[in-house]
């Protein structure tokens, strides 16, 4: 058995696992004040609670794996300065946890963890050369080469979302211009929709968003209000629903994002020559609206030899991929 810890900017989840099977699961919000001083004690409490709910003693688990937003160094166990965890500057999280839990502890970039989880227990099983890409609020990735995770000199390899797709494209939060993340992520899709609405081109999309029933509006954070408030809150899921309803602007926006994703996939195929590319994350739940045009670009632009080898598939582990991936660190290093 293993303990998996999935640390995100808004949620903390902990589970006791046997392989990909969750024996217990504890979830909580990180809260607005998620400084290390406040959050690390909560991580420790959540680990103890997960063990208790699984009726497992610490000595019965092979170790603790923690997946966290990068940048981080998996070898030193230090989290540097993740954008969505303010105040986490050079935090030696592994050493801190080691004092509380005397078992092997490993930390890794959350996208790397997801890649390992899919490799061992999901869509990547049996494929020693694979790439995992998560397309969600941002875009991240992990590369498995000959059965080993490609980490790079400083542990930051696999930042697939920050390959340049458009030399003159939008500026990304990372500081680069034209990143895949700035073109094909959920954040990018929402930004393009809001820009179009603000420019007076999205009346039909805005009307569709306002027509969503009250329950859906709450889920999408689209409370009734002024036009300005609605503009600011249209998100990628809204665009996806509008595209399914046949709204032309929504389909155009998703088509552009999908083609950007396709170019990114072509780059991944040419650089890594993988047997499989596994696609996960919330944006991929849009299905053929995003996957179809992306695969068309792959067919048109990728060189025949590596294209004929690769299989592009959707991830299998669903919303628990972060937890399963974190627990997988124990099996991977063991």
Contact residues for 150 (Cβ-Cβ < 8 A; gap 6+):
142, 143, 144, 157, 158
3 state DSSP class of 280: strand
3 state DSSP class of 170: coil
Q: Which residues pair with 15 in a beta bridge?
A: 4, 25
CATH code of 55's domain: 3.30.420.40
Return the structure tokens found at 30. Answer: 């990180």
Q: 136 and 100, same structural domain?
A: no
pLDDT of residue 212: 62
Residue 26 · residue 50 · CB < 8 Å = yes
Q: 208 and 249, same structural domain?
A: yes
Q: 191 and 306, same structural domain?
A: yes
pLDDT of residue 30: 86
pLDDT of residue 154: 79
162-215: pLDDT as tens digits: 999 999 999 998 889 999 999 999 999 999 999 999 899 888 998 888 876 454
Q: 72 and 9, same structural domain?
A: yes
pLDDT of residue 229: 45
Is residue 20, in this structure, part of any structural domain at all? yes
Is residue 57, in this structure, part of any structural domain at all? yes
Q: For 119-174, list the strands marked E by DSSP.
A: 130-135, 139-145, 148-149
Distance CA(176)–CA(169), nearest Å, equals: 10
Query: Number of structural domains, the chain?
Result: 2
Residue 130 · residue 102 · CB < 8 Å = no
pLDDT of residue 24: 97
Is residue 167, in this structure, part of any structural domain at all? yes
How do the pLDDT tens digits run along the chain, 334 residues long? 999 999 988 889 999 999 999 999 999 998 778 899 999 999 999 999 999 999 999 999 999 999 998 888 898 999 988 877 888 999 999 999 999 999 999 999 999 999 999 999 999 998 999 999 999 988 999 999 999 999 888 778 899 999 999 999 999 988 899 999 999 999 999 999 999 998 998 889 988 888 764 545 455 454 554 444 444 468 898 899 999 999 999 999 999 999 999 999 999 999 999 999 999 999 999 999 999 999 999 999 999 999 999 999 999 999 899 999 999 999 999 8
Residue 10 · residue 45 · CB < 8 Å = no
Burial 251-270 (b: 16+ CB within 10 A, else e): bebbbbbbbbbbbbbbbbbe
Residue 299 · residue 332 · CB < 8 Å = no
Comparing CA positions, the residue from 331, 328, 326 lying closest to residue 69 is: 326
Q: 184 and 257, same structural domain?
A: yes
Q: For the chain, list the strands marked E by DSSP.
A: 2-7, 11-18, 21-29, 64-68, 72-73, 78-79, 105-109, 130-135, 139-145, 148-149, 276-280, 311-314
pTM, full prediction: 0.87
Is residue 121, in this structure, part of any structural domain at all? no
Is residue 252, in this structure, part of any structural domain at all? yes
Q: 145 and 108, same structural domain?
A: no
Distance CA(227)–CA(196), nearest Å, equals: 13
Is residue 263, in this structure, part of any structural domain at all? yes
Q: 183 and 97, same structural domain?
A: no
Return the structure tokens found at 10. Answer: 């808004």
pLDDT of residue 223: 52
Instruction: Please give the backbone phi and psi of residue 37, each rounded to the nearest 5 degrees, phi first.
Output: -60, -35
Q: 278 and 130, same structural domain?
A: yes
Residue 188 · residue 181 · CB < 8 Å = yes
Q: 222 and 100, same structural domain?
A: no
Q: 275 and 220, same structural domain?
A: yes
Q: 131 and 111, same structural domain?
A: no
Residue 85 · residue 9 · CB < 8 Å = yes
Domain that holds residue 6: 2-116+320-333
The region that residue 77 occupies, defined by phi over 0 for left and psi between -120 and 50 for alpha, beta otherwise, is left
């Amino acid at each position: 058995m293993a303990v998996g810890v999935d640390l995100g900017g808004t949620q903390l989840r902990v589970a006791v696992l046997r392989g990909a099977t969750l024996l217990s699961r504890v979830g909580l919000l990180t809260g607005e004040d998620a400084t290390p001083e406040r959050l690390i004690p909560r991580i420790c409490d959540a680990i103890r609670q997960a063990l208790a709910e699984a009726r497992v003693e610490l000595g019965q688990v092979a170790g603790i794996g923690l997946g966290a937003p990068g940048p981080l160094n998996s070898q030193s166990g230090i989290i540097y300065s993740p954008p969505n965890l303010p105040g986490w500057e050079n935090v030696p999280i592994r050493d801190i946890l080691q004092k509380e839990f005397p078992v092997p502890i490993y930390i890794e970039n959350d996208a790397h963890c997801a890649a390992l989880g899919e490799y061992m227990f999901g869509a990547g099983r049996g494929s020693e050369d694979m790439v995992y890409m998560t397309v969600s609020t941002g875009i991240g990735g992990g590369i498995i080469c000959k059965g080993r995770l490609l980490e790079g000199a400083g542990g930051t390899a696999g930042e697939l979302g920050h390959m340049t797709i458009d030399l003159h494209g939008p500026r990304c939060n990372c500081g680069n211009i034209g990143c895949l993340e700035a073109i094909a992520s959920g954040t990018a899709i929402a930004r393009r929709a809001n820009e179009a609405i603000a420019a007076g081109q999205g009346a039909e999309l805005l009307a569709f968003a306002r027509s969503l029933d009250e329950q859906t509006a709450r889920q999408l954070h689209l409370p009734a209000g002024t036009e300005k408030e609605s503009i600011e809150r249209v998100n990628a899921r809204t665009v996806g629903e509008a595209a399914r309803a046949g709204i032309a602007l929504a389909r155009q926006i998703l088509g552009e994002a999908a083609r950007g994703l396709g170019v990114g996939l072509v780059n991944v195929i040419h650089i890594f020559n993988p047997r499989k590319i596994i696609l996960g994350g919330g944006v991929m739940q849009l299905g053929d609206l995003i996957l179809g045009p992306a695969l068309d670009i792959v067919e048109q632009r990728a060189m025949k030899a590596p294209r004929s080898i690769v299989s592009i598939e959707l991830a299998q582990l669903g919303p628990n991929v972060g937890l399963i991936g974190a627990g997988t660190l124990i099996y991977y290093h063991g």
